[in-house]
Amino acid sequence: MKKCMVTFALAALLLSTDAKAQANKACGLLTAAELQSVVGGSVAGLNGGSMPGDVQICTGSAPKARVMLRIARAKGNSAAAAAKGVEIARKMGAQVDVKTFGPITCSSFIPPQDKQAYGFNTTCTVTKNDTVAGVEITAKNQADMVPIDKLHPLAEKMAGRF
């Protein structure tokens, strides 16, 4: 009887884990091979997770960068919130570049000298109906930063996948 209960509990755990993985749509936005084309090395460990506010994430790593894919419901005036964030970053001394391509917005972030340990970030987001999806690459060094023009085509691919 104990063996049967343990087997049942293990099967239930595996099924719930599989259901959670299937429910996380962030990991389906881009493949490791597609990400490898922009980070210049293999991408390992694309694992799904969640954040507060019904945000699904998928994180992985490459030799010179961290990768995060995310998908969430768009909230209110997210363009105004993003503009405010850019202004705050610039006031703290960061170099921020923003480019818009229709529903796709991409940005690059070079932190001030005293905050460079946090990394050099390039992000592209796509808004579609009430959902926003994003790909974020954080390089360890400025020389390894992914340019917006290189990340933008991946955002185009994401747009058709959610």
User: What separation, in Å, do the N-terminal and C-terminal C-alpha atoms of the chain show?
Assistant: 45
Taken in order 35, 41, 46, 52, the sign of the CA dihedral is negative
Supply the pLDDT for residue 159.
Answer: 94
Mean pLDDT of 37-49: 92
| Residue 18 pLDDT | 39
Token representation of residue 161:
């996948």
Q: What is the Cα Rg of the chain in Å?
A: 18
Q: Who contacts 86 (Cβ-Cβ below 8 Å, separation ≥6)? A: 96, 98, 107
Place of tokens 């969430």: 72
Q: What is the mean pLDDT of the chain?
A: 85
Confidence of residue 54 (pLDDT cuts 50, 70, 90): confident
pLDDT band at 50, cuts 50/70/90? confident
CATH architecture type of domain 2-159 = 3-Layer(aba) Sandwich (3.40)
pLDDT of residue 134: 96
pLDDT band at 84 (very low <50, low <70, confident <90, very high): confident
Instruction: Give domain limits for the chain.
Output: 2-159
- Judge whether residue 8 has pLDDT over 60: no
Cα 141 from Cα 157, distance rounded (Å): 26
CA of residue 11 relative to chain centroid, distance: 31
Q: Which two tokens stand for residue 9?
A: 């509990």
pLDDT cut 70: percent of the chain above it: 83
- What's the pLDDT at 78? 65
Of residues 10 and 97, more confidence is placed in 97
Average pLDDT of 37-51?
92
CB count within 10 Å of CB 67 equals 24
pLDDT at 5 over 70: no
The per-residue pLDDT for 77 is 64
pLDDT given for residue 22 in this prediction = 46
